[in-house]
């Protein structure tokens, strides 16, 4: 027994049926007591020193293997209805804790019959963000093989911010094997984009943000796409790449008149909401007239290059009836220019009206009870063909 720094220190050697003695030291002062078990600490250190990293990974691996075995048994032997019931309520429990909302945009809609416009718009919108954030990219060349467009590769993620709200876009794909008789397995890849954001920002993201994404994505698509020149063969359109170099800067025209036309075109291209508000179709017509070689076709090409619109050259002489004409007009895309050249010579509409008027006057002077002769019947039949 001794005194150290004002503290009374007693040491005892206790005997125990175990041949290993236990040494207990009691340190006593006016404030606290400490009991130190040297045997416990020694055993703990021995266990930690004997645990190797390989043993630790083996222990973790056995736990994972056990969980996978239980999951496989669950998937194989549990009834389908019970599995759906468990998965449904498990997902509900997770959503109560998980504070984020996820929206998935699939590449194809309607059983892969049509590529989703929303998916294409999102892909174009994310192209700029993917080039600066993603580590794996996909590249494509558009617009007359001059512009390089980058997009996210599969299973990549980029971040975006909108009015102080943080959100994330992730790309992915689901691969399913089709059951077909073939030496090579046929796989069906279904790609998608997944948007993740906090549930407190639901109204802001679903409303304003997504509308802005779709609008900007469509604008980028129009800017980067290869513009085309369509011509009709009967009731079907065929197209080639439109590469006319004409612009308003190279167009020979009075500066004041040129500026007036440019301002009118740009105002019209941005007036979609105005036309929707007043309940009118979003379209505008121009009549260009003059002798051949005065620049009418060049003017049309300059308008298409300014707006970035496709051109549809409609040849009315190749259209048989109104049904074919209606079909051609329905198949035209939005933001395009429909050109009808030499409209005064395409169909003899004025002549047909004049013939009908003259025929009506002749019929008024005849006896309605008189049977028409052979010559009159022949004339009537030839006009209806």
The DSSP annotation for 39-81 comes to: HHHHHHHHHHHH--HHHHHHHHHHHHHHHHHHHHHHHHHS-HH
- Residue written as token pair 């990219």: 137
Q: Contact 334/219 with Cβ under 8 angstroms?
A: no
Which 8-state DSSP code applies to residue 115?
A: E
Task: State CA 104 to chain mean position distance.
Answer: 10
| More confident: 46 or 163 | 163
146 three-state secondary structure:
coil
CATH homologous superfamily, domain 228-346:
P-loop containing nucleotide triphosphate hydrolases (3.40.50.300)
Q: Would the pLDDT of 59 be above 60?
A: yes
Q: Would the pLDDT of 66 be above 50?
A: yes
Look at residue 247 in the predicted model and tell me its pLDDT: 92
Residue among 95, 115, 93 at smallest CA distance from 105: 115
CA-based torsion, 311, 316, 322, 327: positive or negative: negative
Q: What is the mean pLDDT of the chain?
A: 75
Look at residue 213 in the predicted model and tell me its pLDDT: 93
Which segment, 53-57, 162-166, 225-229, 340-344, is predicted with the most confidence on average? 162-166
Look at residue 34 in the predicted model and tell me its pLDDT: 43
Provide mean pLDDT across the span 136-163: 79
Look at residue 187 in the predicted model and tell me its pLDDT: 57
365 three-state secondary structure:
coil
| More confident: 78 or 325 | 325
pLDDT in tens, 342-381: 777 765 544 555 555 565 555 555 554 444 444 443 433 3
Look at residue 103 in the predicted model and tell me its pLDDT: 92
Sorted by where each begins, the domain ranges of the chain are 2-50, 53-97, 100-178+185-224, 228-346
Provide mean pLDDT across the span 282-307: 91
Provide mean pLDDT across the span 126-130: 82
Least confident of 65-69, 113-117, 205-209, 239-243: 113-117
Q: Would the pLDDT of 10 be above 90?
A: no
């Amino acid at each position: 027994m001794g005194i150290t720094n004002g503290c009374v220190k007693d040491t005892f050697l206790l005997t125990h049926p175990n041949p290993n003695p236990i040494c207990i030291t009691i340190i006593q002062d006016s404030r606290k007591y400490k009991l130190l078990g040297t045997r416990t600490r020694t055993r703990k250190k021995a266990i930690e020193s004997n645990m190797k990293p390989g043993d630790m990974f083996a222990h973790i691996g056995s736990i994972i293997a056990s969980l996978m075995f239980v999951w496989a048994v669950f998937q194989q032997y549990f009834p389908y209805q019970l599995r759906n019931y468990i998965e449904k309520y498990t997902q509900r429990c997770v959503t109560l804790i998980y504070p984020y909302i996820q929206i998935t945009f699939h590449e194809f809609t309607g059983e892969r019959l049509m590529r989703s416009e929303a998916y294409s718009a999102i892909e174009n919108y994310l192209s700029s963000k993917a080039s600066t954030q993603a580590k794996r990219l996909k590249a494509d060349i558009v617009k007359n093989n001059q512009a390089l467009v980058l997009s996210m590769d599969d299973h990549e993620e980029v971040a975006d911010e909108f009015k102080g709200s943080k959100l994330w876009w992730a790309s992915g794909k689901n691969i399913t094997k089709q059951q077909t008789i073939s030496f090579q397995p046929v796989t069906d890849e279904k790609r998608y984009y997944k948007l993740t954001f906090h549930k407190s920002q639901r109204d802001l993201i679903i409303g304003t943000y997504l509308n802005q994404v779709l609008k900007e994505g469509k604008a980028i698509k129009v800017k980067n796409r290869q513009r085309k020149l369509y011509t009709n063969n009967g009731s079907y359109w065929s197209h080639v790449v439109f590469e006319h170099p004409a612009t308003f800067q190279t167009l020979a025209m009075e500066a004041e008149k040129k500026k007036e036309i440019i301002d009118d075109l740009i105002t019209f291209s941005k007036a979609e909401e105005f036309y929707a508000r007043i309940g009118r179709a979003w379209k505008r017509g121009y009549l260009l007239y003059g002798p051949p070689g005065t620049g009418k076709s060049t003017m049309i090409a300059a308008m298409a290059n300014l707006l970035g619109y496709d051109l549809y050259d409609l040849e009315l002489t190749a259209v048989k009836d109104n049904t074919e004409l209606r079909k051609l007009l329905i198949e035209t895309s939005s933001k395009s220019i429909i050109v009808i050249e030499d409209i005064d010579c395409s169909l003899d509409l004025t002549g047909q009206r004049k013939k009908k008027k003259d025929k009506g006057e002749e019929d008024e002077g005849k006896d309605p009870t008189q049977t028409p002769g052979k010559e009159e019947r022949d004339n009537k039949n030839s006009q209806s063909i």
